[in-house]
Structure formats: structure tokens, C-alpha cells
Chains A and B, each alone.
Chain A
């Protein structure tokens, strides 16, 4: 009895809280960009895209469109990676209105490595370290102004980073 009472009041609180937030947004007390940030935080992890073997399938699931190559997407990757377990790769772009950046390795067991959300005010430039099973094309995608741009570079791997 006690438990169900607690559950009831917890649910009730939650509903009231939700109603309160909506009311505050309606009244313009919470600025719109904060609600946008909250929505971004609740973005679901794109599990299916990360499970795809092919880069094309992963891109399709992630963005639902194809990328066009752009020289405004600048990738910094080594020509030869001695150790496929740690390949430092960075990207920067002069494109405006960037909303996300993604890294893919075509020949890896799962092509998609990472996707980064770039909120307004964050510099569209990311450096990270990735694993490469073998010599492969590395694809960087930049979503800007609702369009998708890419840069591709082959990285030769002498010792693979995915074991097996």
C-alpha cells in the first residue's frame, strides 16, 4: 500500500514537473536554446548505425543521405600507421553551420567509429585516436547547413589493431 502510494506520488511529481517545464517554455522563461541543448542530450545512441559492416549502410542509417566530397573538409591522418590500434586522426573544416562530424573506416569489421555533435558555438574541429584492422580508406563526414560533405584518405596499416 505504502509502496503504491509512493509510486503514485512520484509519478504525479514527474507529471507536474513536466507540465511545469512546458509552462515555463510557453511563458518564455526558459530560452529556446536550452531546450534545444536538452533535446540534444537526450539524443539516442545510434546503435544500428554502429553495427553496420559497410560504410555506405552506416552513413545511410546515420544521415539518410549521401555525402559529396569537399575540399573544405580537411583531414589530418598519417600516410602509414605502424600500429593500427592507435591511429591519430583529426579533422577541421571551414564550412559554416556545422552540426555533426563522423569518422568511418571502410575495412573495419564495423565501419562507423564515432559521431560528434557540434552545437552552435563549438568549433568544427575534432581530434581523436581510432583503431584500424588493416589498410583502409578513412572517411570523414561533416554535416553542415543540412548537407553532408566528406573527405577520404587511405591510411596504410602495418600491424592491425583489431587482433584476430
Chain B
């Protein structure tokens, strides 16, 4: 299965800028479907970015993050060609991981 995570990490030699787009419904548990029934909560709770064995960014999310979440941040260091590892875990215990090369 194709990864749910799309990442672009670009280094300017000093700082690495990371943008990620994840496919996920991010159902908050407050929305009703067409039949008027509550759509049960289903959202990513934790997202981590790891570079060189260290976490460079951690997110704790609630159901208030938009569907197909987008995130942008930057960290010092990071070399072109090096790996950046991204993982998420949702409230149902599902998880996905991908590795992106810094460009």
C-alpha cells in the first residue's frame, strides 16, 4: 500500500525545512453523517519526525486538526541526502512510517 505520508524536506545548508501532508480522515467524533449518526472519533494522536536518531519534532493532536493534515516546521542541521523518518499513531492504534531523503 502506498504510504499515507508525503514529505518534502529541503536543506539550505543551515536549516532543513520540512513540509508533510498525511492522508487521514481526522474524524473528531462531533460530526454526524447523512443519516444523523455520529461518526466515531478517528484521528492521529501522535506524529514524530526523527533525524540522526533524535526526534526533531513531535506533535500531539486532537480531533481539531483538519482532515488530511498538513504541517510545516524547520530544524537546524540536516544534510542533503540524509534520511528523515516520519511516523504517526492514531486513536485506533493504526500507524504508518515513512523515510524521506533531505533534498
Contact = CB atoms under 8 A, between A and B. Distances in A.
Nearest to B78: A121
Interface stretch (B2-10, B68-76, B93-101): B68-76
If over half of A's interface residues share one DSSP class (helix, strand or loop), that class is named, otherwise mixed; here it is mixed
Contacts of A119: 54-58
Contact of B60 (A46, A85, A131, A164): A46
Interface string A148-164: 00000000000001111
Interface residues of A, number: 40
Interface band, chain B: 20 to 34
Interface of B: 15, 26, 28, 30-32, 45-46, 48, 53-67, 69-77
30 contacts: A37-B55, A40-B58, A43-B58, A85-B67, A87-B66, A105-B64, A110-B62, A112-B62, A113-B64, A113-B65, A114-B64, A115-B60, A116-B60, A117-B55, A117-B57, A117-B60, A119-B57, A119-B58, A121-B56, A122-B56, A122-B76, A123-B15, A123-B75, A127-B72, A128-B69, A128-B71, A129-B65, A130-B64, A131-B26, A163-B32
Q: Sort A-B residue pairs by CB-CB distance and give the 7 closest, nearest first.
A: A163-B31, A113-B64, A117-B58, A127-B72, A129-B66, A123-B74, A50-B62
